[in-house]
Amino acid sequence: MPSRVRGSCNGSRCADASMRLLVDAQLPPTLTQSFVSKGHDAVHVAVCDESLPSRPLKLDFLRMATIAEVEKLALDLPETERAVLAAHLLGSLPSVLHDEDEGIAEALRRDAEFEANPSLGMSLEELDQRIESRRS
């Protein structure tokens, strides 16, 4: 079933297109509410019938949202819900440190490098200034 269109289409892009979404179990149910508040048909898998997995699941009628669409909806969430979503997404990724020692050797190497050449470091004030200059 194609997406319902509430606005006019211009070329391949449609304004105000409504999507049907199935929100994954790893995402907070409040994300579903956000999708619905934006006019989309959305359901969280937590509220699906428990017998659903035992029979073939036909999701071909769902149009998968693009990353940009999901990002826009996620950014519209309140800060606490974005934090929960971010934690879920980060938790789904592999660890950044793949060293057997969990990065201890790298930390020791950097510490020795700084001890040998203290000019490599910066004060907290310098760090704050650099951060502030990047924000402006």
pLDDT at 63: 58
Residue 16: per-residue pLDDT: 52
Domain ranges of the chain: 9-91, 104-135
| Calpha distance 133→86 (Å, rounded) | 26
What pLDDT is attached to residue 51? Answer: 40
pLDDT of 3 reads: 36
Instruction: Give me the mean pLDDT over the 127-133 stretch.
Output: 91
Q: Is 73 helix (H, G, I), strand (E, B) or coil?
A: helix
For 103-126, the pLDDT digits (tens) are: 788 889 999 999 999 888 888 999
Place of tokens 């070329």: 11
Residue 33: which H helix or E strand, with range?
helix 29-37
Q: What digits encode the pLDDT tens for the residues 7-48?
A: 444 444 444 567 777 788 778 878 888 888 888 888 777 765
> pLDDT by residue (tens digit) across 48-104?
544 444 444 455 445 566 888 888 889 999 998 999 999 888 888 877 656 677 778
Distance CA 80, CA 136 (A): 25
> What predicted TM-score, i.e. pTM, was given to this entire model?
0.31
Report the relative pairing of strands 9-10 and 13-14 from DSSP bridges: antiparallel
Residue-level pLDDT at 125: 92
